[in-house]
Amino acid sequence: LSGFAGKHFISIDKLTNPELRGLLDLSKQYRDTYGKQSTVEPTSAPKPLTGKSISMIFQKRSTRTRVSTETGAVLLGGQALFLGPSDIQLGVNESMKDTALVLSRFNDIILARVFSHNDITELSKHATVPVINALSDLHHPLQTLADLMALEDHFGDLRGKTLAWVGDGNNVLHDLMLGGAKLGMNIRIATPVGYEANTDILETTRRLGSENGTKDVFTTTVASEAVQGSDVVVTDTWVSMGQEAEYAKRVKEFDGYQVNATLMKQANPGAVFLHCLPRHPEEVSDEVFYSEQSLVFPEAENRMWTVMAVMAAQLGKI
């Protein structure tokens, strides 16, 4: 993982397998050291980010990403600065390029949540410090680290396990299918017509899968076809941030894609449920969301351990 120092964290396919493995292992190590169950005294826990700062550009709302990064930075001895959409000149008076060049002179990492993935590309092109993609319209790689950590905690080695996605072919799916394929999981995706995963990212997933022992990357429009034989069922909102005007249309077109007890029964015995949150009842019933099968709250907690690992690794402080 020492080779990750100075690198951007943009999407899961850009990580080498040892980097992905190293980030997951470091996340678990941080939970042991800084978690509520830790036996290490808070005052004697290492503070590898002492004197380091992270600027956090948020063009969209956030609960988990913002709070996990701010809190995680404090635990590691660093400081995170929240820059909301109306706090800085970006987008009104100033370009992404100039913002990147200026923030790079103040801060040690720039984290950004943006609408267009082009903004992340532009930021990472001009920043002279490591960038973290905290969600764009195409990718949400921090979420995938948290999801894979929750799955490894539950199942151990994920090779040969089958992950089923039911719902929108969106940013969260894209990194999860890339990460799952890197760990040798089979991927089964059900999306309505017109809401399929990005074809280039699907192609990359198939390539990564074949390199890593994945047997099956399968797409369908039928939710039950994806879920049959799966060990993990995952969904996300049908209406991502920025798509609010399409709410009524989408809810109609996603009819039949709700993850509920009837659908979960088609998965393998012992299958688990994931959702990155925030969640709405239309995409998953309360019965599944709050069930024993649901890993959604450990998954949310993992957002902190994983972003801590990314920040420390980018700064070579591991």
Active site residues: 276
- Window 118-137: contact mask with ligand NVA (x via CB under 6 A): -----------------x--
Site for ligand CP in 270-289 (CB under 6 A): 276-277
Q: Which of 170, 198, 230, 258 binds ligand NVA (CB under 6 A)?
A: 170
Q: Does 236 bind ligand NVA (CB under 6 A)?
A: yes
223 binds, among ligand NVA, ligand CP, none (CB under 5 to 8 A by kind): none
For 129, other C-beta atoms within 10 Å of its C-beta total: 19
Q: DSSP class of residue 48?
A: T
Which helix (H) or strand (E) segment is 110 a member of? strand 109-113
Cβ-proximal residues to 93 (8 Å cutoff; 6+ apart), any chain: none
Alpha-carbon gap, residue 155 to 33, rounded angstroms: 22
Phi-psi region of 213 (alpha: psi -120 to 50; beta: other; left: phi over 0): left
Instruction: Return the ∠ at Cα 308 (arms to 305 and 314), rounded to 5°.
Output: 140
Site for ligand NVA (CB under 6 A): which residue of 172, 187, 234, 309? 172
Q: Binders of ligand NVA: how many residues, by CB under 6 A?
A: 9
Q: Which of 104, 143, 171, 235 binds ligand CP (CB under 6 A)?
A: 143
Phi-psi region of 128 (alpha: psi -120 to 50; beta: other; left: phi over 0): alpha
Nearer to ligand CP, 31 or 140 (CB): 140
Residue pair 217/209 in contact (Cβ under 8 Å)? The answer is yes
Q: Compose the 241-280 pattern: x for residues touching ligand NVA by CB under 6 A, - for all others.
A: x----------------------------------x----
Place of tokens 């109609």: 252
237 lies in the binding site for ligand NVA (CB under 6 A)? yes
Q: Which of residues 50-69 bind ligand CP (CB under 6 A)?
A: 62-65
Contact 171, 140 (CB under 8 A): yes
- Note the residues at the interface with ligand NVA (CB under 6 A): 135, 170-172, 236-237, 240-241, 276
- Note the residues at the interface with ligand CP (CB under 6 A): 62-65, 135, 143, 276-277
